[in-house]
Amino acid sequence: MQSSPKIFPSIHQTTPGLASSFPAKYSMVPRRLLKLPAVVMSVEYRLAPEHRHPEAYDDAMEALHWIKCNQEEWLREYADFSNCFLMGTSAGGNITYHVTLRAAEAVNELEPLQIRGMILNHPFFGGIHRTGSDRDHKYCNLAVEGGSKFLEKVRAVGWRVLVNGCEGDPLVDRRKEVLKLMEENGVEVIGRFVTGGVHAAEMFDSSWAKALHAMLKDFSFLLEGDRLVMLIK
């Protein structure tokens, strides 16, 4: 009997909160991901400035509940709900991170959907030096308001994480800080940082999109058994 493919919910953005799943420039990556043995889902959510955070996080979390409760044949017959990975690019990586923290607190509520980990591709965290509430808000500073406590829950449920970036991205240092924070809290995480490139290069350059696809295939735990993978844009 042929095994069921994964579902891959993914979030892609290059300008935080200003574009989600429909712009044509983002179609290159989903087309590549469709070559994986996975059911790939692209999540639409409310955008800034009309809708402020955490509404985008709320919508992405709602997508998980939609998958959990959905009775459509294409999901029930062809997807493995016991293996789901959350993935996000750029600001979508920020959303994926915070949705994963929420999901770690709601494991029982999401059954039979079982999340196995997250993939942060060029995640958008931080920026120029700031002060006051902008610097210390939990959406941009992951160490405040119990950030370590939430990561301990991710570690406890055994989810695995990939943080991907490139040295040509001015945000790369923030990615490395996120990687270090997860390592310090015992999360099973792998960091991959390549030379050159620009922020979210795979959205505009087919060679980078091809490299991202190859990286996901080589990321062995992503292809072990059957997986439901959620792609959040």
Specify the pLDDT at position 62.
Answer: 94
Question: Per the structure block, which two tokens stand in for 127?
Answer: 């920026």
* DSSP 8-state class, residue 25: G
Q: Which of 12, 21, 90, 226 is catalytic?
A: 90
Single out the residue of 166, 159, 212 nearest to residue 182, CA to CA. Answer: 159
| pLDDT tier for residue 139 given thresholds of 50, 70 and 90 | low
Instruction: Supply the angle between the helices 91-105 and 147-156 in degrees, to the nearest 10.
Output: 70
Residue 119 backbone dihedrals phi, psi, to 5 degrees: -125, 115
Largest CA distance in the chain: 58
pLDDT digits (tens, 9 = 90+) for 165-191: 888 888 888 888 889 989 999 998 888
Catalytic residue check, 226: no
Residue 90 annotated among the catalytic residues of the structure:
yes
Does position 55 have pLDDT exceeding 80, yes or no? yes
Residue-range domain boundaries for the chain: 6-232
Run of H or E residues at 172: helix 172-184
Per-residue pLDDT tens digits for 200-225: 788 778 888 888 878 777 665 554 54
Q: For 91-104, what is the mean pLDDT?
A: 91
pLDDT value at 97 more than 60: yes
Q: How far apart are CA 5 and CA 212, in angstroms?
A: 19
Q: Is the pLDDT of residue 130 over 70?
A: no
Q: Which two tokens stand for residue 68?
A: 């959990």
Tell me, yes or no, if 173 is annotated catalytic.
Answer: no
**Tokens 């790369």 -> residue:** 172
Of 205 and 29, the structure prediction assigns the larger pLDDT to 205
Residue 1 has pLDDT above 80, yes or no: no
Q: Does domain 6-232 have CATH number 3.40.50.1820?
A: yes
Type of residue found at 149: K
